[in-house]
Structure 1
C-alpha cells in the first residue's frame, strides 16, 4: 500500500502539473502565465521526486504506474478541462489498466 501511495502521488502531481502548464501556455496575462509555469514546474518536480523516492525499483512498479497514470490523467482532464473520455479512450484505457494489472500482479 505504501508503494501505491508513492505512485499515486506521483501520477497526481504529473497529471495536474501537466494541466497547469497547458493552461499557462494559452493564458493571456503574462504575470499569470509565469505564475502558472512556476506552479506547473513545481508539481512536475514533485512528480519526479515522489516517483524516485518510492521504496522500490521503478521497473517493479511500471505497470501500476502506467495504469494509475492513465486513470488520473483522464480524471484530471475531465475535472479541469471538462472533457469526457471518448469510447475509444475508454476501451483503450481498459486495455492499459488490464495490462498494468498483469504486469504488476503476475508472479
Structure 2
C-alpha cells in the first residue's frame, strides 16, 4: 500500500511540476504551451485526489514528494542546483512527510 501510494504521489508531483513548467514556457512562447500546462495540471488534480488517502495525510505526504520531484525536474530542465538553504529546508519537509507516512 505504501509503495502504491508513493508511486501515485510521485506521478502526481511530476504532473504538477511538469504542468507548471509548461505554463512557464507558455508565458514566454506559444500559447499552446499554456493550454498544455493547464491540461497537465488538471490531470494532476484528478490523480492526486484518487489516491484514497485522507486529505490531511495526503497533503502532508504529497508536499514532501513534491519537494523532491520539483528539485529533480528543476535541475534537469532548468539546470538549477539547490543551495544549502533549500536542501536544509527540504530535509525538514521530507522528514515531516516520512513521519506522516510511517506513523499512520
TM-score (norm 1): 0.87
Counterpart CA distance in 2 for 1:79 and 1:100 is 24
The gaps in structure 2 that reach 5 residues or longer are: none
2:12 maps to 10
Query: Helix, strand or coil: the match of 2:80?
Result: coil
* Runs of at least 4 residues off by over 4 Å: none
Q: Deviations over 1:74-105 (max 9, x none)?
A: 11111111111111101111111011111222
Q: Deviations over 1:5-38 (max 9, x none)?
A: 22111111001110110111122xxxxx211011
2:23 maps to 21
Matched positions, count: 102
* Contact 1:63–1:102 (Cα < 8 Å) also in 2: no
Counterpart CA distance in 2 for 1:52 and 1:102 is 21
Give me the CA root mean square deviation: 1.3
The gaps in structure 1 that reach 5 residues or longer are: 28-32
2:83 maps to 86
Counterpart CA distance in 2 for 1:48 and 1:95 is 25
Counterpart CA distance in 2 for 1:61 and 1:69 is 12
Counterpart CA distance in 2 for 1:23 and 1:86 is 24
Alpha-carbon offset, residue 64 of structure 1: 1.7
